[in-house]
Amino acid sequence: MSYRNSGVFFSIVIVMFITTVSPRFGDVDGLGHINNTVLAVWFELARNPIFRFFEPDLIVSYDRWSLIMAHTDYDFVDELFFQYDVEIRTSISRIGDKSFTICHEAWQEGRLCVKGNAVVVHYDFLKKQTISLPEAKKKLLAEHLLVQASETTIPRQPAPGD
C-alpha cells in the first residue's frame, strides 16, 4: 500500500492590527532607504490599539497609565523605500503574569522588511513596581494571540486506487 506525503511545513499567522504608514521625506537616509531609527517610531505607533486595552483614551498620567517598555528588538531583513507605503502588522506573541510581548512586522510591496518585538510590563508608576496583569486583560490579549505552527503532521492518506 502506498501513501501520500505524511507531513507539511507551514505557518499560520493571525494579525491583530494593521497600521499603514506613508514614509516622510525626513525618514529617508542618504542612500534612499528608510532610516533604521524610524522603525522604532512606526512600531510604537502600531502599539496604540493594544495600549487602548489598558487606557482607552490613551491618557498618559501616573495614576492612569500602567504600561512600561522593558525591551525592544528589530531584525532588518530587507530594504524599505520612500515611494511606497509600509504596512505594520501587529500581534501578541506571549502573555505572562506581569508582562506580554508584542510582535511587529513591516511589509512593503509584499515583502517582509523588518520584524521586531516589544516586551511590555504592567507597572504601577505611583508605587514604582511591577504588578500582575488582571485576568480580564490577559483574556483580552489572548483573543489576539499569534498562532504559529512550524510543522504539522497530516494523517497519511491512501493513494488513489489503493
pLDDT in tens, 87-138: 999 999 999 999 999 999 999 999 999 999 999 999 999 999 999 999 999 9
CB 92 within 8 A of CB 138: no
At position 155, the amino acid (one-letter code) is P
- The CATH number of the domain where 143 resides is what? 3.10.129.10
In a domain, 156, yes or no: no
CA distance 14 to 2: 36
In a domain, 1, yes or no: no
In a domain, 159, yes or no: no
pLDDT digits (tens, 9 = 90+) for 50-69: 999 999 999 999 999 999 99
| pTM as predicted | 0.81
Give the chain's domain count: 1
In a domain, 162, yes or no: no
SS3 42: helix
CA distance 143 to 92: 9
Domain assignment of residue 26, given as a range: 7-151
